[in-house]
């Protein structure tokens, strides 16, 4: 969760004009499905029920000990009160194959919490009552000794969690200064009790902007083969997922939208859903994308293209001689007709409105997608 004193509109502008953060990764097109009900203004976690027939979500820091069931049109179906729990900063939710749910009250923006808890509840779909009694999984981090730690050790906030083989896997939200880019992978049992996490591994998501490279959510596909770690305008896809070796290089996937995305789940091995918080009039919606868009392009070499400068206010240059076609799209999917110089390899973008665009290049009958910023 962002600090309430931090303007989301300012964050959007900050990232929009950060030239060091533009990564030529594959772009995953999300479509807006529906607007979340007013009760879910801070949707911070998401799981699916009955293969996407309905979803469960929760707010992060409104103090209400409630999970909400919605359908695929965002109609609010049910509110379930969680008894024997408190809500300090609920950041994620996951479930096991039996339908038991785990709610992570482990948001830790100031890095000084000593009451980190995961609440385990039975499958609400099997219970008629709208009140469920939770069991508690209390935990601390094996490698945290100071509360709060020094600036360069501030990697004990947590906003992402999955269930896998009788264990809960947690992924840290890095708040270090200077930003180290590491996300820690912690593991603990899924049984009620008091534990210290096991630090299983770590992975570098990026070394630039904190707001683009910290982790805000996680989801595992039904076949346990794909793990997606989430941030505000991108994700990191681990496929195949190997919990013993998270150090493997993940596949960077940039999203076709930017917002405070924190909820994420799969409904099939390729159907990915996300929710975002409503901030400064932005977000508060449910989105869907088909991962097969990018899975089919597993062997692309994006480093063979050079697109510069990016961001740009006037012209961009594409250092590639064998381009068959070039197409430019706005982020809402509208194609934009701009001339491209086949000799000087230059495109004039001075007439575009400032913002994000998608540049698609065809080479050897294969399409490549890039994020372009007009500033």
Q: Considering 295, 316, 333, which residue would you say is the last residue of a domain?
A: 295
Are residues 313 and 275 located together in one domain of the fold? no
Q: What is the average per-residue pLDDT within 307-324?
A: 82
pLDDT digits 0-9 by tens, 107-120: 999 999 999 999 99
Is residue 59 a part of any domain in this protein?
Answer: yes
Report which of 141, 37, 187, 164 is spatially closest to residue 94, judged by C-alpha positions.
164
The three-class DSSP label of residue 251 is strand
Is residue 280 a part of any domain in this protein?
Answer: yes
Count of domains observed in the chain: 2
Are residues 290 and 307 located together in one domain of the fold? no
Q: What is the pLDDT of residue 50?
A: 79
Is the confidence at residue 7, as pLDDT, over 50?
no
Are residues 255 and 309 located together in one domain of the fold? no
Are residues 213 and 83 located together in one domain of the fold? yes
Domain with 328, as residue range(s), is 302-374
pLDDT digits 0-9 by tens, 239-268: 888 887 765 668 888 887 778 899 999 999
Is residue 13 a part of any domain in this protein?
Answer: no
Q: How far apart are CA 185 and CA 202, in angstroms?
A: 5
Q: What is the distance of C-alpha 25 from the center of its chain?
A: 15
CATH number at 43 reads 2.120.10
Is residue 11 a part of any domain in this protein?
Answer: no
Is the confidence at residue 155, as pLDDT, over 90?
yes
pTM for this predicted structure: 0.77
Of 91-100, 240-249, 298-307, 353-362, the one with minimum mean pLDDT is 298-307
Is residue 272 a part of any domain in this protein?
Answer: yes
Is residue 17 a part of any domain in this protein?
Answer: no
Are residues 195 and 330 located together in one domain of the fold? no
Are residues 288 and 307 located together in one domain of the fold? no
Q: How far apart are CA 92 and CA 45, in angstroms?
A: 4
pLDDT digits 0-9 by tens, 10-43: 344 333 333 223 334 578 889 999 999 999 999 9
Are residues 264 and 341 located together in one domain of the fold? no
Are residues 280 and 309 located together in one domain of the fold? no
Is residue 80 a part of any domain in this protein?
Answer: yes
């Amino acid at each position: 969760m962002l600090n309430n004193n931090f303007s989301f509109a300012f964050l959007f502008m900050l990232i929009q004009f950060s030239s060091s953060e533009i990564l030529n990764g594959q772009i995953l097109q999300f479509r807006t499905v529906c607007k979340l009900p007013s009760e879910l203004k801070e949707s911070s976690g998401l799981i699916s029920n009955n293969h996407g027939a309905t979803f469960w979500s929760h707010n992060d820091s409104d103090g209400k000990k409630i999970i909400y069931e919605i359908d695929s049109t965002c109609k609010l179906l049910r509110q379930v009160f969680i008894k024997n729990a408190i809500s300090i900063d609920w950041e994620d939710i996951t479930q096991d194959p039996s339908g038991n749910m785990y709610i992570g009250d482990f948001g830790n923006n100031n890095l000084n919490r000593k009451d980190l808890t995961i609440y385990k509840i039975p499958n609400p779909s099997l219970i008629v009552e709208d009140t469920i009694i939770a069991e508690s999984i209390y935990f601390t981090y094996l490698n945290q000794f100071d509360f709060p730690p020094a600036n360069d050790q501030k990697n004990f906030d947590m906003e992402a969690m999955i269930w896998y083989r009788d264990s809960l896997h947690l992924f840290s939200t890095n708040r270090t200064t200077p930003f180290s880019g590491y996300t820690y992978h912690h593991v603990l049992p899924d049984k009620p009790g008091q534990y210290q996490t096991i630090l299983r591994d770590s992975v570098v998501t990026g070394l630039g902007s904190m707001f683009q490279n910290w982790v805000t959510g996680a989801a595992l596909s039904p076949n346990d083969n794909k793990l997606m770690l989430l941030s505000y305008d991108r994700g990191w896809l681990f496929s195949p997922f190997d919990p013993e070796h998270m150090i493997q290089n993940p596949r960077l996937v940039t999203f076709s939208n930017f917002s405070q995305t924190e909820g994420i789940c799969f409904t099939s091995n390729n159907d990915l859903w996300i929710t975002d918080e409503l901030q400064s009039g932005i977000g508060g919606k449910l989105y869907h994308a088909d991962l097969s868009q990018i899975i089919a392009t597993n062997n692309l070499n994006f480093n063979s293209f050079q697109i510069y400068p990016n961001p740009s206010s006037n012209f961009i240059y594409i250092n590639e001689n064998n381009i068959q076609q070039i197409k430019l799209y706005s982020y809402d999917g509208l194609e934009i007709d701009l001339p491209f110089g086949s000799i000087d390899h230059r495109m004039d973008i001075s007439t575009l409105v400032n913002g994000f665009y998608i540049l698609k290049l065809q080479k050897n009958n294969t399409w490549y997608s890039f994020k372009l910023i007009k500033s």
